[in-house]
Amino acid sequence: MLKRICKFFIVILGGGLGYQFGPAFFAFLHELLNFGSVPQSAYIGAAIGAFLFYFLSNIVVDSLVNVLRWAEERLLNLPITDVMFGALGLIIGLIVAFLLYLPMNSIPIPVLNDLLPLFVSGLLGYMGFQVGFRKRDEIMSLFSIGRKEKAKKETGGIGANVEHKILDTSVIIDGRIADICRTGFIEGALVIPGFVLEELQHIADSSDVLKRNRGRRGLDILNSIQKELKVNVQIYEGDFEDIAEVDSKLIKLAKVLNGKVVTNDFNLNKVCELQGVSVLNINDLANAVKPVVLPGEELHVQVIKDGKEYGQGVAYLDDGTMIVVEGGRDFIGLDIDVLVTSVLQTSAGRMIFAKPKMLEKAL
């Protein structure tokens, strides 16, 4: 199919050249050989040109098709952005060449009048394509400056080129976020919204002693993160006045920044998941890094109180994991060896069930 198309265009080209130069050619023969005038010389020239170029097409069509297929493969292998910017540069180069056509056409030298515009058009088109193709990254960054500035205004001065971790009030008061930041596992920027700071301030000014201590602890944690740790801390100064709830504001801010909410609030976690906002839950992280305990393993624990069911005792691991010891009520206050029977993992944490080793041996 491609060969037929190439042959067709070659024949059309020959016919056009014959139509254009046929009368001049026959006039030259008339003067040279005293040849009679040829009626309809333009149409006869077109027919002769098409006939000659048809035979010429049989010779050059294979090479032409190979060149076109090579160019097609090269274009298909290029990324679409490269092709688009190259084409944009080509168009700009040809527009500049068109603007220069009139000054070049006014040159009094006949040969330059015809050849120079063609040469300049080809040169500027090639240069435009190369500039658009090779400088695409710089051009894209130039167009993105305005969008970045607009995004920065919309996000209250927060940069849009890093991943944002948005802290809520509960995770700040909890304090473990500072230890996590100290280990270097948190990447990107920690965003502290202004409305969260206001809520912390209200808690710190509360008349209730417990609430006041929790609020002051949260402010101390923030000062520690900002001053002592090498963490990128950004303050979001904007507010969503049409939204009353702080949790709803956090979700809205996470959508605006395309960031993640860091929390240990179970309800906020669920609402974020329902609205498609990414969440980093400190409690999930704490449960994930707890030591793995398998049924049949032996643990050395201290039974400190009785359990809910008759005869049960309760012990705790160093990380706070609760161990329910069947028949452990008789060993309250004692350090004993227990064998793990099962492990229950819940959203609130992990619970281990075990039996005293001495009772297992007795059986």
Residue 11 CB contacts under 8 Å (≥ 6 apart), including other chains: 50, 53, 54, 57
- Cβ pair 170, 265 in contact under 8 A: yes
User: Could you state, in chain order, the average pLDDT of each consecutive group of 10 residues for the chain (363 residues)?
Assistant: 75 79 69 63 77 77 79 75 82 86 72 73 84 75 57 53 82 85 82 87 88 88 83 81 84 86 87 87 78 83 88 84 88 89 75 83 54
- Buried b / exposed e over 228-249, threshold 16 CB at 10 Å, is eeebeebbbebebeeeeeebeb
- Cβ pair 355, 315 in contact under 8 A: no
CA 177 to chain centre: 26
What is the rounded distance in angstroms from the CA atom of residue 249 to the CA atom of residue 39?
A: 88
Give bridge partners of residue 281 from the DSSP assignment: 263
Of 9, 44, 53, 3, the residue nearest 24 (C-alpha): 44
Q: What is the pLDDT of residue 32?
A: 65
Kindly report, residue by residue over 294-322, the tens digit of the pLDDT.
Answer: 888 888 889 998 888 888 899 988 777 88
- Cβ pair 229, 241 in contact under 8 A: no
Q: Where are the alpha helices (DSSP H) in the chain?
A: 2-33, 41-77, 80-99, 101-105, 110-134, 136-154, 169-174, 176-183, 194-204, 209-228, 246-257, 266-274, 282-288, 357-362
Residue 331 CB contacts under 8 Å (≥ 6 apart), including other chains: 303, 313, 325, 356
Residue 359: both structure tokens together: 């009772």
Which three-class secondary structure state does DSSP give residue 115?
Answer: helix
Q: What is the pLDDT of residue 109?
A: 67
Q: What is the pLDDT of residue 33?
A: 63
What is the rounded distance in angstroms from the CA atom of residue 2 to the CA atom of residue 203?
A: 77
What is the rounded distance in angstroms from the CA atom of residue 205 to the CA atom of residue 196?
A: 14
Residue 159: φ, ψ to 5°: -65, 150
Q: What sign results for the dihedral spanned by CA atoms 329, 335, 336, 338? A: positive
What is the rounded distance in angstroms from the CA atom of residue 182 to the CA atom of residue 219?
A: 17
Of 60, 22, 64, the residue nearest 41 (C-alpha): 22
Residue 273: both structure tokens together: 């998941």
Q: What is the pLDDT of residue 124?
A: 84
